[in-house]
Structure 1
Amino acid sequence: MRNARRVILCLGLALAASEPLATLATPAEAFAAQPQVYVVRPGDTLWGIAAHFLKNPWDWPLLWRRNPAIHNPNLIYPGDRIVLRYDAAGVPQLQVIQLRPKMTVSPIPSYHTGVMLPFLGSPGLIAKRSDYERLPYIAAADDSDTIFSNGNRLYVKQLGNLAPGTLLRVVRAGPQLVRPSDRKPLGHALIDLGTAKVLHDGALAEIEITNAREEITLGDRLVPETPVPEPHFFPSSPAHPIQGHIVGSLSNFPEMMVGQVVVVDQGSDAGLVPGNVLQIDGPESVTRDAVTGEHLTLPGRDVGSLMLFRVLPEVSFAVITVAKRGIRVGDALRSPPPEAPKVLGIAP
């Protein structure tokens, strides 16, 4: 529940045009296509709002940098109206007109929560295969089935004493993650398969699968479910230049597209925080000079971008936000190129 208030965000910024998660329009096209007033709707995300107003959504923090009175600019609610206008001096201003008193709603999330939440409520990473093998595991079922889903009851060993009703995550270890730059092992990503609840504890405990997101099989492991708040952060550029790689995928597909989760080989030790956006570059390619025949190395091209939503010391989980082609494990990452922030083209 919140009291109505008005916040003016003064922007000393140049204006240009963009479409959210899509190709850039010309200023004239953007002015014709985009309203000067945007009403936040249920289902919106902070990424989408930032992309609505900015060519580069990661420039959004600059919209409030000169406004110390704004205590939490990441909380925007359905029903809020965001208005872009100019003052008498031609300086653009973004005005957020918030809800009427006594309306109770939840703020909009950073990105689609169904994508991120499964990777926020579990450890996400385990250092060694031997650590994984010590986790509680699904040992048996009443019948001969080998693939399980919602409602199936299964038997678990090494669970310990947990009260009936305790919620667990069903996980499976992915391949060993390795940082390409120094070949340092980074552990194994834990692929979240779904949730289960304890029915009975003991040496041979019984669980029931409550939400299977992928096929669950004998031998899959269990970890405690950790309640997590819905993430609320606008996209941002890293505080200093970053270089890294995509080292893991949380899917079985060789190429990933928008909305899929990947593992990045840099984390908080490198200064990254949730919300940071990195540009994805394809690999270098080798060809021959058409005249001399000598070998030429062509630089990798910009093929998309991703946003970090969970940052651990040495790795991060990220969601792909732009994909100009299929994104692959091994693609290089770097900080977005610096340029003047560009807001939607609404003529002064």
Structure 2
Amino acid sequence: MQKYIWRNTLFCLGLSAMAPVMAQAAPSGIGLRTEQSYIVKSGDTLWGIAAHFLRHPWQWPQIWHKNPYIHNPNLIYPGDRIVLTHGANGQPELRVERSYGSHAGGSSVVELHPPMMVEPLPTVATGEVMPFLGTPGVIASKKAYDALPYLAAGANSGRIAYTVGDKLYASGLKRVPVGTRYGIVALGPELHHPGVEKPLGYALYDLGSIIVRSNSSHAAVEIANARREISLGDRLIPEASAKIPRYFPSAPAHPVSAQIIAKMSDYPELLVGQVVIVDQGREAGLRDGNLLRIERARGDTKNAVTGKPFALPPQKVGEVMVFRVFPTVSYAVITRATRGILVGDKLASPGPVTASDSAAGNE
């Protein structure tokens, strides 16, 4: 059974007068469901809403109608009504109807701006991806990692692990102003293209953050938050504000062939909501919001007539969405999974449903 991530989705959309729905054929390759309208609720996600209308949610941008009369027409708010209608050319379109009041006669009033400040919904479940948005994520080499400032000593000797509120001393922060926040990181897995010896870099584990309390040759710092165990020798990096992702799921502009090369959790098999590292990035044409299908080889079978073996096509076992792109690698979150996802699983641009997909429940 397919599983969907997206407890939150950030997109607010402009409003638009709603045209009547006509029974017309969808353009080639667009898989429409039977839903004709949907009222957006708090806690919805773009992925979940797209799945109400489309068998392949990554096709949303192909039929989304952007209202040219409003600012940021790609944002959707709770209370918006999304409707499936048809344009002048007879092709299906998804539009947003937004109303904030009514005339005396009861007809709805459509306005161009929300009446109050309402946060748009995030694209992905922020609890899963936020730790990977405010840190460098990837560092070029172990030498570069070793050159970072680090936690040098605890205020109370004898400790081997530290947590929120603990006081320590840091090396390499000599001129950093009091009150500055730094992220705490540890060196993660070395990243490679499969079969290529030269590394693409190293992933960084986000452990938490510190605040500089006073400064001298070794700055006095306090742990502000802790996501994992923190130890002496862990490195420090300037803390950047994490920008909440706000974009539509989409297919890559060009065909992409990639592979999961690392995982950011300790589980042997990965499920929906967990983060992986992909061995392709900006140089391969990947962008934030791109969807990739996860494929697994199924081995060989034998031709019953000739007796000769032949390779079965790979089977789709899930999907990931790219949410942070570097030049040669990307972070992605698992959005669908029919079984445990593994490091080494192949990734490809999404495509039409196949017989093997349907058999596995991947409509």
Q: Offset at 1:173?
A: 1.1
Q: Do residues 175 (structure 1) and 185 (structure 2) align?
A: no
User: Structure 2 length as normaliser, TM-score?
Assistant: 0.79
SS of the counterpart of 1:185?
A: coil
> Equivalent residue for 2:119?
106
SS of the counterpart of 2:192?
A: strand
> Equivalent residue for 1:43?
43
> What is the alpha-carbon distance in structure 2 between the residues aligned to residue 271 and residue 87 of structure 1?
31
> What is the alpha-carbon distance in structure 2 between the residues aligned to residue 115 and residue 99 of structure 1?
33
Q: Offset at 1:286?
A: 5.7
> What is the alpha-carbon distance in structure 2 between the residues aligned to residue 127 and residue 3 of structure 1?
39
**Within-5 A mapping of 1:1-348:** 5-6=15-16, 13=26, 31=34, 36-64=36-64, 72-85=72-85, 92-98=92-98, 100=100, 101-141=114-154, 142-180=156-194, 182-283=196-297, 285=299, 297-338=311-352
Deviates more, 1:42-51 or 1:67-76: 67-76
Q: Offset at 1:165?
A: 1.6
Structure 1 runs not aligned, ≥5 long: 18-26, 340-348
SS of the counterpart of 2:321?
A: strand
Contact 2:170 2:218 in 1 (8 A): yes
Deviates more, 1:39-48 or 1:92-101: 92-101
Q: 1:5 to 1:73 in 2, by over 3 A?
A: closer
Deviations 1:56-95 (A, max 9, x none): 1111111236866676443111222212346899754433
Cα RMSD after superposing both structures: 3.1
Contact 2:13 2:96 in 1 (8 A): no
Q: Offset at 1:3?
A: 11
Deviates more, 1:290-299 or 1:320-329: 290-299
Q: 1:8 to 1:62 in 2, by over 3 A?
A: farther
Q: Offset at 1:39?
A: 2.2
User: Structure 1 length as normaliser, TM-score?
Assistant: 0.82
Deviations 1:178-216 (A, max 9, x none): 011644411001111122211123321122222211221
Q: Offset at 1:138?
A: 1.4
* Highest RCO, 1 vs 2 (Cα 8 Å, sep ≥ 6): 1
Contact 2:14 2:73 in 1 (8 A): no
2:254 maps to amino acid: H
SS of the counterpart of 2:58?
A: helix
SS of the counterpart of 2:145?
A: helix
Aligned residues between the structures: 323
> What is the alpha-carbon distance in structure 2 between the residues aligned to residue 153 and residue 7 of structure 1?
59
Q: 1:95 to 1:78 in 2, by over 3 A?
A: same
> What is the alpha-carbon distance in structure 1 between the residues aligned to residue 166 and residue 292 of structure 2?
41
